[in-house]
Amino acid sequence: MSVNKLISKNFKVIGKLPQLQNFRCCSGISLKQRNELFTAEQKRQRENVGRIEKIEVRYLGLPEDVTLVMNRELSTPYNCAQHLSEGHCKRSVLALVDGNVPWDMHRPLQASCTLQLLHFTVSDPHVVNRTFWRSCSFMLGAALQNAFKENARLQLHSFPGPNIRTGSFIHDIVLGTRVWQPTKTELRALSAEMIKLAAQDLKFERLEVNQELALEMFKDCRYKKEQLPSISQQNRGRIILYRMGTHIDISRGPMISFSRFVGKCTVAAIHKLAEEGDCDALYRVQGVALPSGFVLNHNPARLPNEPFEESHVQMA
């Protein structure tokens, strides 16, 4: 069975929750408005760069070290990779600026610097692995948003920072039911949605905004509105947002460059954490994944692109 057929068949099951008032964290209208605000602010910031200043970016890596002349506040590590080779573009997940600053591949460079392009098989993969798990949590939010019907009253809550030792990624959500016990079919449907997002090869875009704009973008999201003042205070009045496709959420990042770097993936469990309000509940959704191109020690036969369910996986 294809991924698309699995999704169309099983997402109807997820929607079978109690018929509650018509509310969700991202209705079609609010999602459209949020993306319009994101795009408009992104354009405004680019136009405010003003006179283009040149910077020197010293690339350190294979096939040889080289100095690139790029545009300050406009050129990104991905643009640098484009000057190097197609292979650099295809395999670079994250950048390292001046030897110790993890940097999104699509985030403009702010000054002359040294640049390293990281992938999943670097000798010290700790930073790349943390970025991968964080990005999986972000993608899981998008998958959940796509999966639930409006009568489920889904609200995205947050996704805690990655803890590589747990071997999984998580996203916390609030639903309009306290008795949901997800079936294996529902978990497989969510896994299929993750694979669908990965197959779309979506770019992760970073945008830094002020608190006022962030509150406007998330005005219909209760938990995001509650979290924004504290985040703003900790970050000198700024909020860091990411967008993948049409999904926008708050995160300090960094993220992987494209969704295609998520390979095999399974939403393995969903746990009820607490009751919220009169009839809602907080749930923690937990998944495991491998970067694309990685293989499992044990991989029983299955259909192409079918979500995997092994409990023993290895990452670099």
3 state SS of 54: strand
**Residue 263 located in a structural domain:** yes
Which tokens belong to 310? Answer: 């092994």
Of the three residues 87, 119, 151, the one that is the final residue of a domain is 119
* CATH for 99: 3.10.20.30
146-194 pLDDT tens trace: 999 888 889 999 988 777 677 789 999 999 999 999 999 999 999 999 9
Instruction: Indicate if 113 and 168 belong to the same structural domain.
Output: no
**pLDDT above 50 for 15:** no
Burial call 66-95: b when 16+ CB within 10 Å, e when fewer: eeeebebbebbbbbbbeebeeebbebbbbb
Beta bridge partner(s), residue 170: 286
Of the three residues 92, 119, 146, the one that is the final residue of a domain is 119
Instruction: Indicate if 72 and 205 belong to the same structural domain.
Output: no
**Residue 296 located in a structural domain:** no
Instruction: Indicate if 85 and 146 belong to the same structural domain.
Output: no
Per-residue pLDDT band for 305 (boundaries 50, 70, 90) equals very low
CA 48 to chain CA centroid, Å, is: 27
Instruction: Indicate if 92 and 212 belong to the same structural domain.
Output: no
What confidence score (pLDDT) does residue 47 get?
Answer: 95
Range(s) of the domain holding residue 79:
48-119
**Residue 299 located in a structural domain:** no
Query: Pairing between strand 113-118 and 54-59?
Result: parallel
What confidence score (pLDDT) does residue 135 get?
Answer: 97
**pLDDT above 50 for 11:** no
**Residue 218 located in a structural domain:** yes
Lowest mean pLDDT: which of 91-95, 184-188, 292-296?
A: 292-296
What string of H, E and C letters represents the secondary structure of 135-157? Answer: HHHHHHHHHHHHHCCHHHCCEEE
Asked if residue 217 lies in contact with residue 207, where contact means CB atoms within 8 angstroms, the answer is no
What confidence score (pLDDT) does residue 297 get?
Answer: 62
What confidence score (pLDDT) does residue 236 get?
Answer: 92
**pLDDT above 60 for 294:** yes
Which of the two residues, 278 and 19, has the higher pLDDT score?
A: 278
CA gap 287, 190 in Å, rounded: 10
Instruction: Indicate if 55 and 194 belong to the same structural domain.
Output: no
CA gap 219, 31 in Å, rounded: 11
Instruction: Indicate if 136 and 211 belong to the same structural domain.
Output: yes
39-57 pLDDT tens trace: 999 999 999 998 999 999 9
Instruction: Indicate if 100 and 228 belong to the same structural domain.
Output: no
Find the mean pLDDT for residues 20-33.
Answer: 60
Percent of the residues in the chain that have a pLDDT greater than 70, as a whole number? 84
**Residue 130 located in a structural domain:** yes
Find the mean pLDDT for residues 234-257.
Answer: 96
Cα distances from 13 to residues 3, 7, 93, 100, 190, in angstroms, run: 16, 10, 35, 46, 11
3 state SS of 258: strand
Q: What's the structural domain count of the chain?
A: 2
Q: Is the dihedral of CA 135, 245, 93, 97 positive or negative?
A: negative
Residue-averaged pLDDT of the chain: 86
What confidence score (pLDDT) does residue 224 get?
Answer: 95
CA gap 247, 233 in Å, rounded: 24
Q: Which segments of the chain does DSSP mark as H helices, in order?
A: 3-14, 28-47, 77-84, 86-91, 126-147, 184-199, 211-217, 222-234
Per-residue pLDDT band for 298 (boundaries 50, 70, 90) equals low
Asked if residue 178 lies in contact with residue 272, where contact means CB atoms within 8 angstroms, the answer is yes
CA gap 241, 249 in Å, rounded: 6
Residue at token pair 């993936």: 265
116-135 pLDDT tens trace: 999 999 988 999 999 999 99
Of the three residues 62, 85, 119, the one that is the final residue of a domain is 119
Instruction: Indicate if 130 and 248 belong to the same structural domain.
Output: yes
Residue type, 26: C
Instruction: Indicate if 103 and 153 belong to the same structural domain.
Output: no
Instruction: Indicate if 239 and 186 belong to the same structural domain.
Output: yes
* CATH for 232: 3.30.980.10
**pLDDT above 80 for 35:** yes
**Residue 27 located in a structural domain:** no
Asked if residue 248 lies in contact with residue 41, where contact means CB atoms within 8 angstroms, the answer is no
**Residue 29 located in a structural domain:** no
Long-range contacts of 90-95 (CB under 8 A, 24+ apart): 91/119, 92/117, 92/118, 92/119, 92/257, 93/118, 93/119, 93/120, 93/128, 93/131, 93/132, 93/256, 93/257, 93/261, 93/291, 94/118, 94/127, 94/128, 94/131, 94/254, 94/256, 94/257
Instruction: Indicate if 143 and 103 belong to the same structural domain.
Output: no
**Residue 307 located in a structural domain:** no
What confidence score (pLDDT) does residue 27 get?
Answer: 63
Beta bridge partner(s), residue 305: none
What confidence score (pLDDT) does residue 115 get?
Answer: 98
Instruction: Indicate if 74 and 158 belong to the same structural domain.
Output: no
Asked if residue 167 lies in contact with residue 288, where contact means CB atoms within 8 angstroms, the answer is yes
Query: Angle at Cα 280 formed by Cα 278 and Cα 281, nearest 5°?
Result: 125
